[in-house]
Amino acid sequence: PITLLIPKARGGRAQCAMYLLLALCATALYLTGEPLVPTARSITSHFVALQIGVLLKGTCYLAEEIFHLQSRHHGSFRRALSACFPLRWHALMLLICGSAYVALLDGDGQPLILHLSLTSLCQLLILALGLHKPSAVEISEMSERSKQNVAHGLAWSYYIGYLKIVLPRVKKSMEEFSRANPNVLAYRETWKLHILVPLSCDVYDDLEKADSNIKYLTDLTETTLTRAGTKKRVYKHSLYTIRDEDKKLWHCAVEYATPLQSLYAMSQDECAAFSREDRLEQAKLFYRTLEEILKSSKECVGTYRLIAYEESGEAESHFLSREILWHLQQQHREEYTMYEGNQPHNPNTTLSSTELNLQISQSDLPQPLRSD
């Protein structure tokens, strides 16, 4: 199922694991039975080292940002400083931990400046070796939470610049075509725009060349709008005939999600530095983001069907038509099942005790629910 290929939003399991490991470390530290003062001194020294590392990293970044004050920080040195140093918490932590470390320093024969110099040396080595950089998972999570992925921008652009305009008009176009051709669009539940989302981003300009079981029929009624300075911009959808294995003909409006062409082109251009793995990840995120956007859009309810798929490694000449037919048949079965399940029920005028079983309490007080 395609739902197994689309990643869901990350939950809080990493945070829970962190608290669990924190509790385990605290328990192990308690069980060692070490004296309190040396343990506290070691902990504070580690905290001081971490805060010094943050300050040193900010200093290195500030050395670059001062050359971009006008273009990136509106000429404000304070903005550049706050962008490089998260001073709100780290300065306070450094002050507290530094004071505690000095107070707990028991005179081991080495001056305080030596401790700070060794700590700074270790932190600068970590920065120079690149050990401070976040992992791929951290980068992915930060990008998803801040919605700064390529896929987020493409999905929102696709929705605002196209789907939000055309989808509310799809049903009307289908109705107009059905009145003129009553035998073509037989199933009202398939009167939607079927949007193909291949995770490989391999988009065909001509669906007939992608699958011989797909044939172009005609175009639906055009929508003409004045948009972004263009007079009488035309929006239209193509209607296709899909032939199944029993030679039965199905009809639907279908097209590719055009932003996938941008993802594919980026993976082919060296300047974009966009690998095939990045393309696959962004295609999945594009599908998930677009699905979330459309689900929250009241104007687009019941006007679309997203068809995400991953092509198999083997060459199949009718893979695409089978994928579309599966969705068409599923829509038809779902609509039929709902209709059958919601048949009007005309009860008899006389009801026996087996047809109507009411549990009526003899008391006015609340009674517990019973399943028997």
Q: What is the pLDDT of residue 143?
A: 63
Task: Find out whether 319 and 311 touch, Cβ atoms under 8 Å.
Answer: yes
Q: pLDDT: is 223 or 88 the higher one?
A: 223
Q: What is the pLDDT of residue 10?
A: 76
Has residue 49 got a pLDDT over 70? yes
Q: What is the pLDDT of residue 101?
A: 66
- Strands (DSSP E) contained in the chain are 193-198, 214-219, 223-227, 230-235, 238-243, 249-256, 304-309
219: which strand partners? 238
Distance, CA of 58 to CA of 72 (rounded, Å): 16
Q: What is the pLDDT of residue 8?
A: 77
Average pLDDT, the chain: 78
- Strands (DSSP E) contained in 108-248 are 193-198, 214-219, 223-227, 230-235, 238-243
Q: pLDDT: is 191 or 101 the higher one?
A: 191
- Cα atoms in the Cβ-side hemisphere of radius 13 Å centred on 291: 17
CA dihedral (128, 132, 138, 144) positive or negative: negative
Q: What is the pLDDT of residue 1?
A: 63
Q: What is the pLDDT of residue 167?
A: 92
Has residue 358 got a pLDDT over 50? no
What does the pLDDT average to over 11-24?
84
Has residue 76 got a pLDDT over 50? yes
CA 79 to chain centre: 31
Distance, CA of 48 to CA of 133 (rounded, Å): 20
pLDDT category at 344 given cuts 50, 70, 90 is: very low
CA trace torsion 97, 99, 105, 110 (10° rounding): 90
Nearest to 53 by CA among 122, 100, 2, 104: 122
Q: What is the pLDDT of residue 197?
A: 93
Over residues 162-202, the pLDDT tens digits come to: 999 999 988 888 888 888 887 777 678 888 999 999 999 98
Over residues 247-256, the pLDDT tens digits come to: 888 888 999 9
pLDDT category at 144 given cuts 50, 70, 90 is: low
Has residue 159 got a pLDDT over 90? yes
Has residue 307 got a pLDDT over 50? yes
Distance, CA of 335 to CA of 319 (rounded, Å): 25
Q: What is the pLDDT of residue 356?
A: 38
Q: Which residues contact 244 (CB under 8 A, 6 or more apart)?
A: 213, 250, 321, 325
CA dihedral (88, 90, 95, 97) positive or negative: positive
Q: pLDDT: is 124 or 303 the higher one?
A: 303
What single letter denotes the amino acid at residue 61? Y
Q: What is the DSSP string of 290-351?
A: HHHHHHT-STTTTSEEEEEE---SS--TTHHHHHHHHHHHHHHHHHHHHHHHT------SS-
Has residue 337 got a pLDDT over 70? no
Question: Whole-prediction pTM value?
Answer: 0.68
The CATH class, in words, for 150-341 is alpha beta
Distance, CA of 104 to CA of 110 (rounded, Å): 14
Q: What is the pLDDT of residue 352?
A: 38
Distance, CA of 158 to CA of 167 (rounded, Å): 12
CA trace torsion 121, 123, 125, 130 (10° rounding): -170
- Please classify residue 213 by burial: count the beta carbons closer than 10 Å to its beta carbon, then call 0-12 exposed, 13-18 middle and 19+ buried: buried
Nearest to 177 by CA among 217, 206, 233, 208: 217
Helix/strand/coil for 93: helix
What does the pLDDT average to over 266-271?
85
